[in-house]
Amino acid sequence: MLSIFDKEHLLRPQVVIITGEIHRGKTTFAQKIVADLFEQKIRIAGFLSIGINENGIRTGFNLVDLGSSRQIELCSDKKNEKRLKLGRYFF
pLDDT in tens, 49-73: 999 999 999 999 999 999 888 999 9
Q: Are strands 47-54 and 71-76 parallel, antiparallel or unpaired?
A: unpaired
Contact (CB, 8 A) for 76 and 59: yes
Quote the domain boundaries for residue 86: 2-90
Is the Cα dihedral 4, 10, 12, 17 positive or negative?
positive
Residues belonging to the chain: 91
What confidence category does residue 44 fall into, taking pLDDT thresholds of 50, 70 and 90?
Answer: confident
Domains in the chain, number: 1
pTM of the model: 0.72
